Amino acid sequence: MHVGIIGTGTMGKGIAQVFAEKKGFEVFLCGRTTESAEKALQRIKTGFNTRVAKGKITADEVLKIMERIHDGDWTAARDCDLIIESVPEDFDIKVDALKSVIRLAEHAKVVTNTSSLSLLKLQQAVDYPLVGMHFFNPAPVMKLVEVVHTEKNSAEDIEQIKDIAEQVSKTPIVVKDNPGIIVNRLLITMINEAVIQYEAGVASAQDIDTAMKLGANYPMGPLELADYIGIDVVLAIMKSIQEQTGSNKYKPADMLINMVEAGRLGRKSGEGFYKY
């Protein structure tokens, strides 16, 4: 199967790696420009080189995987069987990308990796029965895939995407279109509440994280996880869920807004709730 990945950010390159690691898939990692795709491909290779140095994978295995990944601009996805859109989590950006690839690849199955936007609104905007195929970061490690559907999707659509997820050793769950789907609806709300507690001086960031790691057996605390996800991403998801539900229950903490305005975005900027 030929799989096109539209988007060369963290999720795009992670999903590309997921498919390339399995025999039987040829992956086309596509950016708006060939240069962005080339850079993403190099980042994948660098990550593999680190694993080779640690003895977690052999250089020969890496070579075989990398031979299954091809880079290019969006037109490289023209002859793919499956196209996964994974551009930034912005409605207009996604609609633009989806319309382009739907016109480009008439015979491909096109799905979206959206984590918080309304699938129904995306379907209506592009006039296409998209299925949501939501991977989690880091995609090569996380086992879950949320398969999201609306009444516009057939049972065959859903089963096809479930089957593909299983072929790349993921565990798919089927979810009705819902703001934040399942995981983000619960997880981002918890992170927001942790930020509210931290802002109120209830406890230090480290102690809030320790409470959830030792009291709820979480592998990462909520504030540590927010830094890993990106504070700007957390804020965008909170705003999206609030907008779709109309509930102040999902109102982002003031501190999240202030941190984004100050450029404290977490690990990627060097500082969030912690310094890196």
Domain boundary among 112, 142, 176: 176
151-163 pLDDT, tens digit per residue, is 999 999 999 999 9
Instruction: Give the domain extent around 197.
Output: 183-268
| Domain match, 162 and 30 both | yes
| Domain match, 8 and 76 both | yes
For residue 28, is pLDDT > 90? yes
The model's pTM: 0.92
CA dihedral defined by 253, 254, 258, 264, rounded to 10 degrees?
-20
| Domain match, 105 and 139 both | yes
Domain boundary among 127, 149, 176: 176
Domain boundary among 176, 210, 243: 176
213-256 pLDDT, tens digit per residue, is 999 999 999 999 999 999 999 999 999 999 999 999 999 999 99
127-149 pLDDT, tens digit per residue, is 999 999 999 999 999 999 999 99
For residue 203, is pLDDT > 90? yes
Instruction: Give me the active site residues, please.
Output: 115, 134, 146, 184
Nearest to 24 by CA among 77, 68, 58: 68
For residue 185, is pLDDT > 90? yes
Q: At 159, which CATH number?
A: 3.40.50.720
pLDDT confidence of residue 106:
82
